[in-house]
Amino acid sequence: MAGALIVPAITMTGCSSLQPTQATAIGSGAFATGHYRNLFAENGHSQKEIRAKVDSAFQQLFHGDPATQAVYYSAGANSNGQLAYITDIKHNDVRTEGLSYGMMIAVQLDKKSEFDALWNWSKTYLYHDSPTHPSYGFFSWQAKTNGEVMSEFVAPDGESYYVMALFFAANRWGNGGGIYNYQEQADQLLTNLRHRALIQGPISSLRRNINSTSIVTAGPLFSEEHKMVLFSPSSERPQFTDPSYHLPAFYELWARWGSAADKDFWMEAATNSRDFFTRTANPVTGLAPDYAHFDGTPADTAWNKGAVNFRFDAFRTAGNWSVDWSWWAKDPRELELSDKLQAFFESQGMETYGCQFTLDGKPLDGRHAQGLVAVNAVASLAATNPRSKQFVEALWNIPTPDGIERYYEGLLYMMALLHCSGEFQIWNPSTAASR
């Protein structure tokens, strides 16, 4: 697989001779055609300008001033090589969300040293290898920058991005040994997402410098009944989901690249997530809640009363359905969702809209967040109204995030640049057609 190119599973010419059932199976998006829209180029920006913008943002966020710009930090080395983490500057911690996003950015930009260092840090400090631990086979979602675990719970969004980034790394660079056998690591983690056995035991967490331990029973990160990603597999919390964790674009690839026995499950998960998007997003504004029940209705929780609203997690949801459309083009309802969402934000003022709302559009926070501007531009991948160009240009015009908000805002911004420049792509294995 070393040096594999991004090659469409079936070319456009091939698509013309497919039987209808085959065409439906692969969709008509980038997976089938090999074409990824460059929204910046469509807006008139030159490839030289686009290249400079992407490279500059990566340099700032990964190797810029550590005090004001960077979120990526080197952390020495161990027997597996270099270590590095990505930190949430505002909260002074490290999260699987950021580590896995950083790995995805690195593999898309052919930055193998950064990828490996982030993966090494994840495996060294966060991975649970004890078969008796409720998080066995998964990663603690939160730690201090010195590697001390703050919460042994699992956050399924990080695990999902780990799996996808590892598959892409195997396909782009080939596999090494140990933890750098990317394919083996991806296969094992993907199997656990669905099949990890229920394990009861103690889970530790650190809050306000006070350690606490709870006895929980936890298992896989996806609901077998609903075929949807869970917010948490812990028995301590009622089972529900997070709309921004739904990644049908990834599930389609897992159905093809994972175990043949799980193919139908991941294909159904993709279909169910597409249906779920239309149920959980407000029919007028297109806004989704932070947390939701499996039927799409907002989920309130004792520890996060605002989760019924459009808040920071929910920034990502429109990006997820829009990338799904870009890669697969299987559900035209995603086009309607992007148009509704962008119409709402346009009505709030393109340069002034806030970042938190009730689902029917009542403003809750007036900050014009760079991360939301970024994801709203990604929504243009699935938008049909000409207003979508405004959202792309809004992303082009904002600077790379720095300062206290640069972790979440910066990673969303960096991934949005890749999506909108056509550089966030599917790295296919050379054996994709036979798996």
Q: Which residues are catalytic?
A: 97, 313
Query: Which DSSP letter does residue 381 get?
Result: G
* Cα–Cα dist 417/30, whole Å: 17
Residue 282 amino acid letter? N
Q: What are phi and psi of 58, to 5 degrees?
A: -65, -45
Q: Are 236 and 155 in contact (CB under 8 A)?
A: no
* Cα–Cα dist 212/236, whole Å: 14
* Continuous H helices in 109-151: 112-125
Check the CA dihedral 268-270-272-274 and report its sign.
negative
Coil/strand/helix, residue 427: coil
Could you tell me which residues are beta bridge partners of residue 88? 93
> Which residue reads 């660079």 in tokens?
173
Query: Which DSSP letter does residue 307 get?
Result: G
Query: Which DSSP letter does residue 245 get?
Result: G
Structure tokens at 158: 């990080």
Residue 17: burial class (beta carbons within 10 Å; 0-12, 13-18, 19+): exposed
Q: What are phi and psi of 201, to 5 degrees?
A: 175, 180
* Continuous H helices in 286-430: 317-328, 333-347, 370-378, 388-397, 406-420
CB atoms within 10 A of CB 10: 19
> Which residue reads 């009542």 in tokens?
362
* Cα–Cα dist 347/306, whole Å: 23
Structure tokens at 55: 């490279």
Structure tokens at 47: 């490839």
> Which residue reads 């297109």 in tokens?
286
402 Cβ contact list (under 8 Å, min separation 6): 60, 64, 68, 69, 410
CB atoms within 10 A of CB 370: 23
* Cα–Cα dist 362/310, whole Å: 10
Structure tokens at 72: 């990526």
